[in-house]
Chains A and B, each alone.
Chain A
Amino acid sequence: MESLKVELKAKIIEVLNLEDISVEDINDNDPLFGEGLGLDSIDALELIVLLDKNYGIKLTDPKDGKAIFQSVETMAAFIAANRKK
């Protein structure tokens, strides 16, 4: 689980081009949207593609996203439970 979180943080930084932010700067429970990393709706779409492309998870109901994308912790837990690759 820990290695998945580190991997996920690195992918988020890469995909969202978060300049000046390193893996160490993101805490597992930091909110991804609003406060914390300050991501927005376009980033949410990028994260949905990230899940599909890297872990084979397709989000069919957009409402699920709010809970899944709360933090790296919640994302990693969802990936661990649902990953297909």
Chain B
Amino acid sequence: MVKTYINGVGSISAQKTFEGDFLEEIISNESENVIYAVQPSYKEVIPPASIRRMSKGVKMGIFTSNKALKEACIEVPDAIITGTGMGCVEDSDKFLKAILDNKEQFLTPTSFIQSTHNTVGAQIALGLQCKGYNFTYVNGAVSFESALLDAKLQLETSEANAILVGGIDETTQHTLDLYRLVNFIKNEKDQPFSVLNSNSKGVVFSEGSNFFVLENQQKTSSYATLEAINFFNELKISEVGEFICSFLDSNGIKIETIDAIVLGNNGDTQFDDYYTIASTLFSKTPQVYYKHLSGEYNTASSFGFWVASKILKNQLIPSAVKMNDLTKDNYTYVLLYNQYRGKDHSLILIKKC
């Protein structure tokens, strides 16, 4: 079986992850119910003539894909596969607002052209002149996992040798207002906001972009191998244990073989029980959480994947993401479990290489 190596990574998040050491500088948040991605200077990567039309999501996607490709020493990948929950919602908002404000007249092309979900993948391909397979998955909170699975299958069947895979989501004021209305976002009065031991509904919302170069060859830049992925649309709380155990069984791995579990706890008391089950199952395993740093969004699990990859490469769990005090001398297998609002359950298994 052809292995899938993670050979390059790039991240923009609510932390300064686009540069510097692995989670060395942390911006902690307990008072904001929306946290925005820390933006790098895009002018070094994107020509000024192009940058003026790009929304935040497109810029973040181009910057992080560029970083991942550079690290893996790949100029043009064989395929570009992206995952996004909401797509280019900034331009969608602009376009729809223009329709309403101008009574369906004077509609300009730019926002419309850029409002589709696959704009990020398309703009990356245009910049790289990559004419290979280009696909965008819009599957809620398993959008990134869907892209990962596609890439893994293509590498395993030798359809491609190097694939750029990423998860991107941007926020806009209008979307945030709607999320507030339906209480998806934590209420101001519930401060201080906490991801662990939370006592309030909703999440701290955010945005970000995380890209990875997956290849069928190991390189000096390799972080880990992507062993397996599985996702399920809807599970009862009582079914989570079985979901995890059968995934491990099918990969010939026992619970005690896992050296670290990365959990997507987001502090929403309505759905915390899913994570409590997973946490209890791995009570003797070092546990990692990350959404206190990244916030929640449909592709926040791509930030978790970035954290897990870094843990295996550095053989270290930064104190900022430790959920318990357990440590290991060697980290070989890392398992990620994520769900959002009781739906879109995903498991990703990666291994030290």
Contact = CB atoms under 8 A, between A and B. Distances in A.
A46 B110 CA distance: 8
Contacts of B106: 49, 52-53
Interface in B73-130: 102, 105-110, 113
Output the residue of B48, B49, B108 with the most chain A CB within 10 A: B108
A54 to B, nearest CB: 9
Counting contact residues on chain A (CB < 8 A from B), the size range is: 10 to 19
Contacts of B53: 17, 42
A57 B39 CA distance: 40
B51 interface: yes
B52 A19 contact: yes
Nearest to A45: B109
B48 A19 contact: yes
A20 B109 contact: no
Interface in B23-71: 48-49, 51-53
Given A42-B113, A49-B107, A17 B102 contact: no
Contact of B109 (A18, A42, A53): A42
A20 B110 CA distance: 19
Given A42-B113, A53-B102, A19 B108 contact: no
B3 to A, nearest CB: 43
A37 to B, nearest CB: 10
B108 A18 contact: no
Nearest to A48: B108
A59 interface: no
Interface string A3-43: 00000000000011111100000000000000000100010
A38 B49 contact: yes
Nearest to B51: A19
Contacts of B113: 42
Contacts of B102: 53
B39 to A, nearest CB: 14
B88 to A, nearest CB: 15
A46 B52 contact: no
A49 B51 CA distance: 21
Contacts of B51: 19
A16 B49 contact: no
A52 B331 CA distance: 63
A22 to B, nearest CB: 14
A8 to B, nearest CB: 17
Given A17-B53, A53-B102, A46 B48 contact: no
Contacts of A46: 108-110
11 contacts: A17-B52, A19-B52, A42-B53, A42-B110, A42-B113, A45-B108, A46-B108, A46-B109, A49-B108, A53-B105, A53-B106
Interface of A: 15-20, 38, 42, 45-46, 49, 52-53
Given A15-B108, A19-B48, 8 more contacts: A17-B52, A18-B52, A19-B51, A20-B48, A42-B110, A49-B107, A53-B102, A53-B106
Pairs A-B, 10 closest by C-beta atoms:
A53-B106, A17-B52, A45-B109, A49-B108, A49-B106, A46-B108, A19-B52, A42-B109, A52-B106, A42-B110
